[in-house]
Amino acid sequence: MAQALDTAPTPSPIAPMARSLQGLYETTKPGITRLVTITAVVGFFLAAPSREWTIAPFALALLGCVIGTALSAAGANAINQFMERERDARMDRTMKRPIPSGRVDPRRVLRVGIALGGLGVGTLLAINGVVPALLSLACLVVYILAYTPMKPWTPTSTLVGTIPGALPPLIGWTSASALPGVDALFEPAGLALVAIMTLWQIPHFLALAWMYRDDYVKGGYRVLTVVDPSGRRTVAVMAVTAALLLPATLAPVWLAPQRVGAVYGVVALVTGAGFLWLVARIVRRRDRSSARGVFFGSIIHLPLLLLAMTGETIVRWAW
Protein backbone atom coordinates (compact mmCIF):
# COMPACT_ATOMS: atom_id res chain seq x y z
CA MET A 1 0.00 0.00 0.00
CA ALA A 2 2.82 2.39 0.91
CA GLN A 3 4.56 1.56 -2.36
CA ALA A 4 1.39 2.24 -4.29
CA LEU A 5 1.06 5.62 -2.58
CA ASP A 6 4.68 6.44 -3.30
CA THR A 7 4.27 5.76 -7.01
CA ALA A 8 0.90 7.56 -7.42
CA PRO A 9 1.12 10.44 -9.93
CA THR A 10 1.36 13.91 -8.45
CA PRO A 11 -1.64 16.06 -9.39
CA SER A 12 -0.66 18.63 -12.00
CA PRO A 13 -1.14 22.30 -11.06
CA ILE A 14 -1.80 23.14 -14.69
CA ALA A 15 -5.45 22.03 -14.76
CA PRO A 16 -6.60 24.24 -11.84
CA MET A 17 -4.64 27.15 -13.29
CA ALA A 18 -6.28 26.64 -16.68
CA ARG A 19 -9.73 26.55 -15.07
CA SER A 20 -8.96 29.76 -13.19
CA LEU A 21 -7.78 31.51 -16.34
CA GLN A 22 -10.85 30.29 -18.21
CA GLY A 23 -13.04 31.63 -15.42
CA LEU A 24 -11.30 35.02 -15.49
CA TYR A 25 -11.77 35.13 -19.25
CA GLU A 26 -15.49 34.42 -18.86
CA THR A 27 -15.89 37.31 -16.41
CA THR A 28 -14.95 39.69 -19.25
CA LYS A 29 -18.16 38.66 -21.10
CA PRO A 30 -16.31 37.86 -24.34
CA GLY A 31 -19.41 38.16 -26.52
CA ILE A 32 -20.22 41.67 -25.31
CA THR A 33 -16.55 42.68 -25.45
CA ARG A 34 -16.38 41.45 -29.04
CA LEU A 35 -19.48 43.40 -30.08
CA VAL A 36 -18.23 46.59 -28.43
CA THR A 37 -14.88 46.23 -30.21
CA ILE A 38 -16.55 45.59 -33.56
CA THR A 39 -18.65 48.76 -33.26
CA ALA A 40 -15.47 50.74 -32.53
CA VAL A 41 -13.84 49.23 -35.63
CA VAL A 42 -16.88 50.19 -37.72
CA GLY A 43 -16.56 53.78 -36.51
CA PHE A 44 -12.85 53.69 -37.34
CA PHE A 45 -13.37 52.51 -40.92
CA LEU A 46 -16.15 55.00 -41.58
CA ALA A 47 -13.95 57.89 -40.46
CA ALA A 48 -10.70 56.64 -41.98
CA PRO A 49 -11.32 57.78 -45.61
CA SER A 50 -11.26 61.42 -44.42
CA ARG A 51 -7.49 61.16 -43.85
CA GLU A 52 -4.45 60.47 -45.98
CA TRP A 53 -2.80 57.37 -44.57
CA THR A 54 0.34 55.37 -45.04
CA ILE A 55 0.31 51.72 -44.04
CA ALA A 56 2.20 51.94 -40.74
CA PRO A 57 0.21 54.79 -39.11
CA PHE A 58 -3.06 53.22 -40.28
CA ALA A 59 -2.17 49.81 -38.87
CA LEU A 60 -0.99 51.33 -35.58
CA ALA A 61 -4.13 53.46 -35.16
CA LEU A 62 -6.40 50.50 -35.95
CA LEU A 63 -4.46 48.21 -33.61
CA GLY A 64 -4.63 50.76 -30.80
CA CYS A 65 -8.37 51.17 -31.33
CA VAL A 66 -9.00 47.42 -31.27
CA ILE A 67 -6.76 46.57 -28.32
CA GLY A 68 -7.66 49.63 -26.26
CA THR A 69 -11.40 49.23 -26.74
CA ALA A 70 -11.34 45.48 -26.11
CA LEU A 71 -9.28 45.78 -22.92
CA SER A 72 -11.41 48.60 -21.59
CA ALA A 73 -14.68 46.74 -22.29
CA ALA A 74 -13.29 43.52 -20.80
CA GLY A 75 -12.27 45.37 -17.66
CA ALA A 76 -15.67 47.01 -17.25
CA ASN A 77 -17.42 43.66 -17.66
CA ALA A 78 -15.17 41.95 -15.12
CA ILE A 79 -15.77 44.67 -12.54
CA ASN A 80 -19.50 44.46 -13.26
CA GLN A 81 -19.46 40.72 -12.54
CA PHE A 82 -17.59 41.39 -9.29
CA MET A 83 -20.18 43.95 -8.23
CA GLU A 84 -23.16 41.77 -9.15
CA ARG A 85 -21.80 38.45 -7.84
CA GLU A 86 -24.38 38.08 -5.05
CA ARG A 87 -27.32 38.88 -7.31
CA ASP A 88 -25.93 36.58 -10.02
CA ALA A 89 -25.95 33.74 -7.49
CA ARG A 90 -29.75 34.07 -7.11
CA MET A 91 -30.55 33.93 -10.83
CA ASP A 92 -30.81 30.71 -12.83
CA ARG A 93 -29.34 32.41 -15.90
CA THR A 94 -26.22 33.66 -14.13
CA MET A 95 -25.58 31.37 -11.14
CA LYS A 96 -23.05 29.35 -13.16
CA ARG A 97 -20.92 32.39 -13.89
CA PRO A 98 -17.35 32.09 -12.61
CA ILE A 99 -17.74 34.01 -9.35
CA PRO A 100 -21.06 32.63 -8.01
CA SER A 101 -20.05 29.12 -9.04
CA GLY A 102 -16.82 29.46 -7.02
CA ARG A 103 -14.45 28.97 -9.94
CA VAL A 104 -12.57 32.25 -9.38
CA ASP A 105 -11.73 34.45 -6.44
CA PRO A 106 -13.85 37.66 -6.54
CA ARG A 107 -10.90 39.80 -5.44
CA ARG A 108 -8.82 38.49 -8.31
CA VAL A 109 -11.61 39.34 -10.73
CA LEU A 110 -11.72 42.89 -9.36
CA ARG A 111 -7.95 43.30 -9.67
CA VAL A 112 -7.96 41.92 -13.21
CA GLY A 113 -10.88 44.17 -14.17
CA ILE A 114 -9.15 47.29 -12.88
CA ALA A 115 -5.93 46.33 -14.63
CA LEU A 116 -7.66 45.63 -17.96
CA GLY A 117 -9.64 48.86 -17.81
CA GLY A 118 -6.54 50.88 -17.02
CA LEU A 119 -4.56 49.20 -19.79
CA GLY A 120 -7.36 49.83 -22.27
CA VAL A 121 -7.64 53.53 -21.52
CA GLY A 122 -3.84 53.84 -21.42
CA THR A 123 -3.47 52.12 -24.80
CA LEU A 124 -5.97 54.47 -26.43
CA LEU A 125 -4.28 57.49 -24.84
CA ALA A 126 -0.81 56.44 -25.99
CA ILE A 127 -1.75 55.46 -29.54
CA ASN A 128 -5.03 57.15 -30.50
CA GLY A 129 -5.10 60.31 -28.42
CA VAL A 130 -6.88 62.03 -25.59
CA VAL A 131 -10.44 62.02 -26.97
CA PRO A 132 -10.70 58.26 -27.66
CA ALA A 133 -9.17 57.59 -24.22
CA LEU A 134 -11.65 59.90 -22.50
CA LEU A 135 -14.55 58.24 -24.32
CA SER A 136 -13.33 54.86 -23.13
CA LEU A 137 -12.97 56.17 -19.59
CA ALA A 138 -16.51 57.56 -19.77
CA CYS A 139 -17.79 54.11 -20.76
CA LEU A 140 -16.03 52.57 -17.78
CA VAL A 141 -17.26 55.16 -15.30
CA VAL A 142 -20.89 55.11 -16.46
CA TYR A 143 -21.04 51.32 -16.63
CA ILE A 144 -19.49 50.76 -13.22
CA LEU A 145 -20.55 53.77 -11.16
CA ALA A 146 -23.96 54.55 -12.66
CA TYR A 147 -25.55 51.72 -14.62
CA THR A 148 -24.58 48.80 -12.36
CA PRO A 149 -25.65 50.43 -9.06
CA MET A 150 -28.88 51.76 -10.61
CA LYS A 151 -30.21 48.40 -11.84
CA PRO A 152 -31.71 47.35 -8.46
CA TRP A 153 -33.38 50.75 -7.99
CA THR A 154 -34.91 52.09 -11.18
CA PRO A 155 -35.85 51.03 -14.73
CA THR A 156 -34.14 54.18 -16.03
CA SER A 157 -30.88 52.26 -15.55
CA THR A 158 -31.55 50.78 -18.99
CA LEU A 159 -31.33 54.23 -20.57
CA VAL A 160 -28.13 54.99 -18.67
CA GLY A 161 -26.77 51.63 -19.74
CA THR A 162 -27.05 52.57 -23.39
CA ILE A 163 -24.28 55.16 -22.94
CA PRO A 164 -21.33 52.74 -22.61
CA GLY A 165 -22.84 50.69 -25.43
CA ALA A 166 -23.29 53.66 -27.75
CA LEU A 167 -19.96 55.47 -27.33
CA PRO A 168 -17.54 52.82 -28.71
CA PRO A 169 -18.25 53.75 -32.37
CA LEU A 170 -17.09 57.25 -31.44
CA ILE A 171 -13.89 55.77 -29.98
CA GLY A 172 -13.19 54.36 -33.43
CA TRP A 173 -14.40 57.47 -35.23
CA THR A 174 -12.23 59.88 -33.24
CA SER A 175 -9.26 57.51 -33.62
CA ALA A 176 -9.39 57.86 -37.41
CA SER A 177 -11.06 61.18 -38.20
CA ALA A 178 -9.15 63.92 -39.98
CA LEU A 179 -10.67 66.50 -37.65
CA PRO A 180 -8.58 67.28 -34.57
CA GLY A 181 -9.55 66.40 -31.01
CA VAL A 182 -13.00 67.36 -29.79
CA ASP A 183 -14.14 68.51 -33.26
CA ALA A 184 -14.32 64.86 -34.36
CA LEU A 185 -16.95 64.19 -31.71
CA PHE A 186 -19.53 66.31 -33.50
CA GLU A 187 -19.32 64.97 -37.03
CA PRO A 188 -22.88 64.00 -38.07
CA ALA A 189 -22.01 60.55 -39.41
CA GLY A 190 -20.26 59.64 -36.16
CA LEU A 191 -23.24 60.81 -34.13
CA ALA A 192 -25.51 58.72 -36.38
CA LEU A 193 -23.59 55.63 -35.26
CA VAL A 194 -24.18 56.63 -31.65
CA ALA A 195 -27.91 57.01 -32.35
CA ILE A 196 -28.09 53.60 -34.00
CA MET A 197 -26.39 51.89 -31.08
CA THR A 198 -28.48 53.74 -28.51
CA LEU A 199 -31.80 52.85 -30.11
CA TRP A 200 -30.85 49.26 -30.94
CA GLN A 201 -29.91 48.44 -27.36
CA ILE A 202 -33.31 49.23 -25.84
CA PRO A 203 -35.54 46.67 -27.62
CA HIS A 204 -32.64 44.22 -27.54
CA PHE A 205 -32.31 44.44 -23.75
CA LEU A 206 -36.03 44.61 -23.04
CA ALA A 207 -36.60 41.45 -25.07
CA LEU A 208 -33.96 39.70 -22.97
CA ALA A 209 -35.44 41.11 -19.76
CA TRP A 210 -38.88 39.85 -20.83
CA MET A 211 -37.54 36.35 -21.45
CA TYR A 212 -35.90 36.26 -18.02
CA ARG A 213 -38.20 38.49 -16.01
CA ASP A 214 -38.56 35.87 -13.26
CA ASP A 215 -34.79 35.74 -12.96
CA TYR A 216 -34.58 39.52 -12.69
CA VAL A 217 -37.11 39.36 -9.85
CA LYS A 218 -34.92 36.81 -8.05
CA GLY A 219 -31.90 39.02 -8.56
CA GLY A 220 -33.70 42.06 -7.17
CA TYR A 221 -33.43 44.14 -10.34
CA ARG A 222 -36.03 46.80 -11.10
CA VAL A 223 -35.93 46.61 -14.86
CA LEU A 224 -39.01 47.69 -16.81
CA THR A 225 -40.30 44.16 -17.38
CA VAL A 226 -40.33 43.59 -13.60
CA VAL A 227 -42.22 46.76 -12.64
CA ASP A 228 -44.59 46.47 -15.63
CA PRO A 229 -46.39 43.12 -15.14
CA SER A 230 -48.88 43.73 -17.95
CA GLY A 231 -46.09 44.49 -20.41
CA ARG A 232 -47.93 47.48 -21.90
CA ARG A 233 -45.24 50.03 -21.12
CA THR A 234 -42.51 47.62 -22.11
CA VAL A 235 -43.89 46.94 -25.58
CA ALA A 236 -44.64 50.66 -26.05
CA VAL A 237 -40.99 51.51 -25.38
CA MET A 238 -39.85 48.72 -27.68
CA ALA A 239 -42.17 49.90 -30.45
CA VAL A 240 -41.08 53.54 -30.23
CA THR A 241 -37.36 52.79 -30.17
CA ALA A 242 -37.62 50.22 -32.96
CA ALA A 243 -39.57 52.70 -35.08
CA LEU A 244 -36.93 55.37 -34.48
CA LEU A 245 -34.17 52.89 -35.20
CA LEU A 246 -35.19 52.47 -38.84
CA PRO A 247 -34.64 56.12 -39.91
CA ALA A 248 -31.52 56.21 -37.71
CA THR A 249 -30.04 53.27 -39.64
CA LEU A 250 -30.81 55.03 -42.94
CA ALA A 251 -29.28 58.34 -41.80
CA PRO A 252 -25.68 57.43 -42.83
CA VAL A 253 -26.84 57.25 -46.47
CA TRP A 254 -27.48 61.02 -46.33
CA LEU A 255 -24.87 61.99 -43.77
CA ALA A 256 -21.99 60.01 -45.28
CA PRO A 257 -22.79 59.59 -48.99
CA GLN A 258 -19.10 59.16 -49.84
CA ARG A 259 -18.98 56.07 -47.63
CA VAL A 260 -22.31 54.30 -47.99
CA GLY A 261 -25.12 54.36 -50.51
CA ALA A 262 -27.59 52.00 -52.16
CA VAL A 263 -26.09 48.71 -50.97
CA TYR A 264 -26.10 49.68 -47.32
CA GLY A 265 -29.41 51.48 -47.69
CA VAL A 266 -31.16 48.36 -48.99
CA VAL A 267 -29.71 46.22 -46.19
CA ALA A 268 -30.77 48.80 -43.58
CA LEU A 269 -34.27 49.06 -45.03
CA VAL A 270 -34.87 45.32 -45.36
CA THR A 271 -33.40 44.30 -41.98
CA GLY A 272 -35.04 47.28 -40.28
CA ALA A 273 -38.45 46.39 -41.69
CA GLY A 274 -38.00 42.78 -40.58
CA PHE A 275 -37.03 43.89 -37.09
CA LEU A 276 -40.04 46.21 -36.91
CA TRP A 277 -42.28 43.29 -37.84
CA LEU A 278 -40.86 41.26 -34.95
CA VAL A 279 -41.47 44.14 -32.55
CA ALA A 280 -45.00 44.58 -33.89
CA ARG A 281 -45.63 40.93 -33.08
CA ILE A 282 -44.65 41.35 -29.43
CA VAL A 283 -46.84 44.45 -29.24
CA ARG A 284 -49.81 42.28 -30.28
CA ARG A 285 -49.02 39.13 -28.32
CA ARG A 286 -46.93 40.18 -25.33
CA ASP A 287 -45.52 36.69 -24.79
CA ARG A 288 -42.15 35.07 -24.26
CA SER A 289 -42.02 33.55 -27.71
CA SER A 290 -42.36 36.97 -29.33
CA ALA A 291 -39.72 38.40 -26.98
CA ARG A 292 -37.36 35.64 -28.07
CA GLY A 293 -38.02 36.59 -31.69
CA VAL A 294 -37.14 40.22 -31.01
CA PHE A 295 -34.00 39.26 -29.13
CA PHE A 296 -32.64 36.96 -31.81
CA GLY A 297 -33.80 39.33 -34.52
CA SER A 298 -31.78 42.10 -32.91
CA ILE A 299 -28.60 40.04 -32.90
CA ILE A 300 -29.07 39.35 -36.61
CA HIS A 301 -30.13 42.90 -37.53
CA LEU A 302 -27.13 44.74 -36.05
CA PRO A 303 -24.29 42.57 -37.46
CA LEU A 304 -25.82 42.73 -40.94
CA LEU A 305 -25.99 46.53 -40.66
CA LEU A 306 -22.41 46.85 -39.47
CA LEU A 307 -21.11 44.42 -42.09
CA ALA A 308 -22.88 46.24 -44.93
CA MET A 309 -21.77 49.63 -43.63
CA THR A 310 -18.12 48.65 -43.27
CA GLY A 311 -18.00 46.60 -46.45
CA GLU A 312 -19.40 49.34 -48.69
CA THR A 313 -17.12 51.92 -47.08
CA ILE A 314 -14.02 49.80 -47.70
CA VAL A 315 -15.00 49.05 -51.31
CA ARG A 316 -15.68 52.71 -52.09
CA TRP A 317 -12.47 53.79 -50.37
CA ALA A 318 -10.38 51.21 -52.24
CA TRP A 319 -11.80 52.34 -55.57
- Domain spans, the chain: 10-186, 187-319
Contact 198, 237 (CB under 8 A): no
Give the pLDDT confidence score for residue 3 in this predicted structure.
Answer: 42
pTM: 0.92
Q: CA–CA separation, 268 vs 251, rounded Å?
A: 10
How far is the C-alpha of 94 from the C-alpha of 97, rounded, in Å? 5
Domains 10-186 and 187-319 share a fold: no
- Whole-number pLDDT of residue 12: 53
CATH for 10-186 is 1.10.357.140
Check if CATH label 1.20.120.1780 holds for domain 187-319.
Answer: yes
Q: What is the pLDDT of residues 24-71, one digit of tens each?
A: 999 999 999 999 999 999 999 999 999 999 999 999 999 999 999 999
What does the alpha-carbon distance between residue 26 and residue 97 come to, in Å, rounded to a whole number?
8
What is the residue-wise DSSP string for 154-199? -TTHHHHHHHHHHSHHHHHHHHH-SS-GGGGGG-HHHHHHHHHHHH
Q: What is the pLDDT of residue 21?
A: 87
Residues of the chain where predicted confidence (pLDDT) is lower than 50 = 1-8
